[in-house]
Structure 1
Amino acid sequence: MKPIHIITLIAFIVSMSSIVCGLLLEVDYAQKLVGFGVSGLFLVVFPLFSYYRWKGKDVKDYMLTKENLDKMRENQKNNKI
């Protein structure tokens, strides 16, 4: 496993356990546990996961540019035969 994958997995487990503990435990700071867990998911886990999955890919392949629209139209014409 790659180090970024391990870090993402650990951050995910910590965030989810914080949310679960906040929901199940009857302590004064339960809402803070849930809040830190959700913040960890959105501010740490999601960006790490996005970086890991998009690394090395060309963003222009996924954008709707004139060239990509022309390719899609051409593919539709070829598939309707």
Structure 2
Amino acid sequence: MKILGLAILIAISIGFYFRLTGDLLTGDRIIGLSVLATVFILMPIFLVVRWRGKKLEDYTLSEKNMKKMREKGID
């Protein structure tokens, strides 16, 4: 995941370099593909890795969690 993130950052940097040297179309394409890779590849991998081992009910507002909040004085 770190290697993929680093590769995407390098690609975005290369895209901006192309834009600065005058090749706007190529630079925009590289930046666009890097953003798409971030959204559709890197972000889902990140979410799966961070979500693994956690229970969804710990992060939702259920009656059980509302009771806990009331008992602790968090309104």
Q: TM-score range by the shorter chain?
A: 0.7 to 0.9
Shift of 1:65: 1.0
Q: CA RMSD in A?
A: 1.4
Residue 17 of structure 1: aligned partner: 10
Count of residues paired in the alignment: 70
Q: Distance in 2 between matches of 1:13 and 1:40?
A: 12
1:40 aligned residue (16, 37, 40)? 37
Further displaced range: 25-34 or 49-58 = 25-34
> How does the TM-score come out when normalised to structure 2?
0.83
- The 2-side partners of 1:16 and 1:43 are apart by 15
- Does structure 2 conserve the Cα–Cα contact (< 8 Å) formed by 1:11 and 1:44? no
SS of 2:33's partner is helix
**2:62 is equivalent to residue 69 of structure 1:** no
SS at structure 2 position matched to 1:57: coil
CA distance in 1, matches of 2:66, 2:16: 47
Residue identity over aligned pairs, in percent, reads 27
Q: Which runs of 5+ in 1 are unaligned?
A: 1-7
Q: TM-score, normalised by structure 1?
A: 0.77
Q: Tell me how far 1:45 sits from its aligned partner.
A: 0.9
CA distance in 2: counterparts of 1:17 and 1:46, whole angstroms: 17
